[in-house]
Structures are given as structure tokens and as C-alpha cells.
């Protein structure tokens, strides 16, 4: 069985009136290669007539964003021509690759009516050979994500990418990333698997769980050993976990603001390319979302 190496708390880093917790990166963990960054927004309830999310047009290069809309809804616009509104239970997967500008905003209906909101955004690194790949985007609604029974019927694994129990997730990862979120009822016990040598990304979104004999509360990231292919999760309360795994990239990492590359020179080039308009015109996104 895999065992727990460390448990890392998420730290509050609110953005205006948006409740935000960030377990990665943290004081004791820079990354769980290739997983780089996680923002947990909410849970909170927005009143009618709210201003919505504050993520207007901004650039990215060199990695992927995977956004889980647990509650509420999220509009996506980017300079690659992709546009969608994803509702609760859906996922947005964007490969920034060589670079684009995107906006992540609340739809007009949510700003008008308000309601509960909880969103997770995970950054996944790309290897050097794919840093400059063509940008792409896939938005998937809840109905298109397989909900697979686990824990003797007392849990559900929602499969976003990869394979599990004979099912295949709707999103094809460029780097064979397995991604899901897991829901467990209080008292449920599940054996989760990741091939030996792959790094597991495991974040407790809600509830209390026992992971490989270690008690873990909500808003904590768990680092596991990679010397086996199985670990046990037992839920003390109704629980939700973000669960993924991938082969580590093991390459130099230089991150600065919205860009994640392999050298300082590549970061400087990213800023130059953005200033020169090579990521597309962000003004188009402002007009489209206004």
C-alpha cells in the first residue's frame, strides 16, 4: 500500500469578496510534479445582483488549467475562439500551450440571480516537448462525465480523464493524466489506485477522511509515496476529494505569474510575445463578455 508522506493545509488568500484557499504551492511543497497549483474558490453563496467572478482576460503559456465547477456556473472565453458556459458538475480543460488569453467569468444569469458557488482550478505542467503545443479547450457538462460506483455502492468516482472500471473519461489528456473527483458517504471505504511511480494528486474538498491510516480534514492536500499502486480512503463524514495521478515530468521549472516554462529566457520570451500581441487580442474578450 502507498503511505502518506505529508499533509499540507490550504491557506486563505481571498480575492476581493471571493473566498479562496490555496494548498499548492505552499510553504512546504512547491509542486506534486506535474501538478503545480490549486485554487479552491468557495464554497460561498452570492446574492442577487452580484459582480460575479473577477477573472477577466489574462494570458497563459506552458501548462494546462483544469477547472471543476462544483456549484454555480462558469463562462469561458479565449483568443483561440473557444467559448462555453459550464454548469455545476462540469469541467473546463484548457491547454494554454504556446499561449492564449482567456477570461473566466460568471454568466449574466448567475450575476443576476446569485446562488451557491464552489470552483476548483488546478494547473498541470506540460513537458518541454509540449510547452509550445497548439492551444486547445474542452468544456464538459455534468451529464457527459461518467459517475462510477465505488466503495460497495457508497461512493462515486466522477471520471474526467483516463480510464477506470471499464469507462473512459470524456477528455483526452496530452500527457496521460488521470483526473477525477470522488464522493464518499460517511462510513464508506474505497481502494483507489495509481500505477507505481506515478504521482498522486489528492485534495480533500469536503469532509474528514482517513487516508492510509492518517486522519485528514477538509482543505488539506495529501502527498503519498509512489512505491505501490493502491491506497485506502475511509470517510468519517460525507466527503469529496479531488483525485488525479500522472507520470512526473522531472524537468527544470521556472514559473512567473501566468507563465510556466523551463528557463528564465523562455519566461522573458513569453512576456515579449504577449506584449507583441502573439497571444491574440484581449480586447475582443472584454467586448464579448461585457
Cβ atoms of 186 and 235 closer than 8 Å: yes
User: How much of the chain, in percent, has pLDDT values that exceed 70?
Assistant: 99
Provide the pLDDT for residue 289: 61
| Averaged pLDDT of the chain | 96
pLDDT of residue 209: 98
Supply the DSSP string of 78-115, one letter for each residue.
ETTS-EEEEETTEEEEEE-TT-EEEEEE--HHHHHH-E
How much is the pTM?
A: 0.97
pLDDT of residue 286: 73
Residue 205 pLDDT: 98
CA-CA distance, 260 to 266, in Å (whole number)? 9
> If you average pLDDT over residues 161-169, what whole number do you get?
97
Cell (9 digits) for 52: 460575479
Does residue 290 have a pLDDT over 60?
no
Which tens digit of pLDDT belongs to each residue from 214-273? Answer: 999 999 999 999 999 999 999 999 999 999 999 999 999 999 999 999 999 999 999 999
Report the pLDDT value the prediction gives residue 218, as an integer from 0 to 100.
Answer: 98
The 3-state DSSP class for residue 175 equals: coil
245: β partners = 178, 200
| Cβ-contact 258, 58 below 8 angstroms | yes
Q: Name the pLDDT band for 284 (thresholds 50, 70, 90).
A: confident
Which 8-state DSSP code applies to residue 133?
P
Q: What average pLDDT score do residues 2-27 get?
A: 97
How far is 185 from 239, CA to CA, in rounded Å?
A: 6
Angle, alpha carbons 42-64-13 (nearest 5°): 30
- Predicted local confidence at residue 287, as pLDDT: 61
Q: Residue 158: beta bridge partners? A: 147, 181
Q: Is the pLDDT of residue 288 over 80?
A: no
**In this structure, are residues 10 and 219 in contact, taking their beta carbons and an 8 Å threshold?**
yes
Distances (CA, A) of 92 to 65, 76, 84, 123: 8, 8, 9, 12
pLDDT of residue 224: 98
Q: Which secondary-structure segment (H or E) carries 148?
A: strand 147-150
Q: What is the pLDDT of residues 21-62, one digit of tens each?
A: 999 999 999 999 999 999 999 999 999 999 999 999 999 999
> Cα separations (Å) of 247 from 2, 144, 233?
16, 26, 22
Confidence of residue 283 (pLDDT cuts 50, 70, 90): confident
Q: Report CA Rg, the chain.
A: 19
Amino acid at each position: 500500500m502507498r503511505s502518506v508522506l505529508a499533509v499540507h493545509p490550504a491557506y486563505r488568500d481571498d480575492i476581493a469578496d471571493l473566498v479562496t484557499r490555496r494548498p499548492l504551492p505552499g510553504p512546504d511543497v512547491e509542486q506534486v510534479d506535474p501538478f503545480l497549483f490549486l485554487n479552491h474558490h468557495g464554497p460561498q453563496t452570492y446574492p442577487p445582483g452580484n459582480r460575479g467572478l473577477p477573472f477577466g482576460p489574462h494570458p497563459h503559456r506552458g501548462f494546462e488549467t483544469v477547472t471543476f465547477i462544483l456549484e454555480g456556473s462558469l463562462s469561458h472565453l479565449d483568443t483561440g475562439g473557444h467559448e462555453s458556459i459550464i454548469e455545476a458538475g462540469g469541467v473546463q480543460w484548457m491547454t494554454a500551450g504556446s499561449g492564449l488569453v482567456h477570461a473566466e467569468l460568471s454568466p449574466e444569469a448567475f450575476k443576476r440571480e446569485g446562488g451557491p458557488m464552489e470552483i476548483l482550478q488546478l494547473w498541470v505542467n506540460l513537458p518541454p516537448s509540449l510547452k509550445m503545443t497548439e492551444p486547445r479547450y474542452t468544456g464538459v457538462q455534468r451529464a457527459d462525465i461518467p459517475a462510477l460506483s465505488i466503495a460497495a455502492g457508497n461512493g462515486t468516482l466522477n471520471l474526467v480523464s483516463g480510464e477506470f472500471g471499464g469507462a473512459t473519461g470524456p477528455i483526452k489528456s496530452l500527457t496521460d493524466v488521470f483526473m477525477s473527483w470522488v464522493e464518499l458517504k460517511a462510513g464508506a471505504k474505497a481502494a483507489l489506485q495509481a500505477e507505481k511511480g506515478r504521482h498522486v494528486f489528492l485534495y480533500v474538498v469536503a469532509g474528514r477522511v482517513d487516508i492510509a491510516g492518517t486522519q485528514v480534514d477538509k482543505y488539506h492536500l495529501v502527498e503519498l509515496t509512489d512505491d505501490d499502486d493502491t491506497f485506502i480512503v475511509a470517510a468519517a463524514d460525507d466527503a469529496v476529494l479531488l483525485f488525479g495521478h500522472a507520470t512526473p515530468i522531472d524537468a527544470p521549472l521556472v514559473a512567473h505569474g501566468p507563465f510556466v516554462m523551463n528557463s528564465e529566457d523562455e519566461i522573458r520570451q513569453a512576456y515579449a510575445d504577449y506584449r507583441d500581441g502573439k497571444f491574440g487580442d484581449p480586447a475582443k474578450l472584454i467586448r464579448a463578455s461585457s
